[in-house]
């Protein structure tokens, strides 16, 4: 096994010293690491497949949100070939109006979709909860609301398709 370089050994000593200092100063209260570990395992034990799916859904919605800021600057126009690069820039300038129009529509759609998803996630969470507690009537009511929300997404998608088609026609 290769030996650590001296600077790494020294760094390790400083790290050890600082952990001790913080423990002594009470910045790291006694048992903090064990408490954090117990907390994690408590969460882990409480996870069943349904909760796991909801967390994954929440993560997916958060990821979707993070990617839903549409901007012209996100369209890559760089190329290793200078002629292609110039051509891409010219095309970008010529079609900037259309690109902005499409982006505005996509942003509008994304905002509406975000609203729908934001209302769906707690609904699905309650559905999962009512499933485990046997809340049949609540569940049926929530299912109706869920279907309504899904219908709304379908309508929004149709509207977006129509707008994009119209925009294509105009640009042609």
**Residues near another protein, by CB under 8 A:** 1-5, 7-8, 11-12, 14-16, 18-19, 22-23, 27-28, 32-33, 36-37, 39-40, 43-45, 47, 51-52, 55-56, 59, 63, 66-67, 69, 73-74, 76, 78
Handedness of CA 73, 78, 82, 85 (dihedral sign): negative
Q: Which of 162, 151, 69 is nearest to 114 (CA)?
A: 69
Please say which residue, 13 or 158, places its beta carbon nearer to another protein. Answer: 13
Q: What are the DSSP calls for 13-62, one per residue?
A: HHHHHHHHHHHHHTSS-TTHHHHHHHHHHHHHHH--HHHHHHHHHHHHHH
Write down the least CB distance from residue 110 to another protein, Å: 15
Write down the least CB distance from residue 74 to another protein, Å: 5
| Residue at token pair 């759609």 | 109
Please say which residue, 42 or 137, places its beta carbon nearer to another protein. Answer: 42
Please say which residue, 2 or 134, places its beta carbon nearer to another protein. Answer: 2
């Amino acid at each position: 096994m290769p030996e650590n370089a001296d600077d790494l050994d020294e760094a390790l000593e400083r790290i050890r010293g600082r952990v001790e200092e913080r423990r002594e100063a009470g910045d790291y209260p006694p048992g903090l690491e064990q408490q954090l570990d117990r907390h994690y395992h408590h969460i882990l034990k409480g996870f069943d497949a349904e909760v796991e799916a909801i967390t994954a859904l929440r993560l997916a919605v958060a990821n979707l949100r993070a990617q839903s800021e549409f901007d012209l600057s996100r369209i890559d126009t760089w190329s290793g070939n200078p002629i292609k690069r110039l051509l891409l820039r010219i095309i970008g300038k010529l079609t900037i109006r259309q690109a902005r129009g499409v982006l505005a529509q996509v942003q509008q759609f994304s905002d509406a979709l975000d609203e729908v998803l934001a209302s769906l996630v707690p609904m699905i969470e309650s559905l999962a909860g009512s499933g485990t507690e046997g809340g049949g009537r609540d569940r049926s009511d929530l299912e109706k609301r869920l279907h309504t929300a899904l219908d709304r997404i379908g309508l929004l998608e149709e509207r977006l398709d129509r707008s994009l088609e119209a925009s294509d026609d105009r640009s042609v």
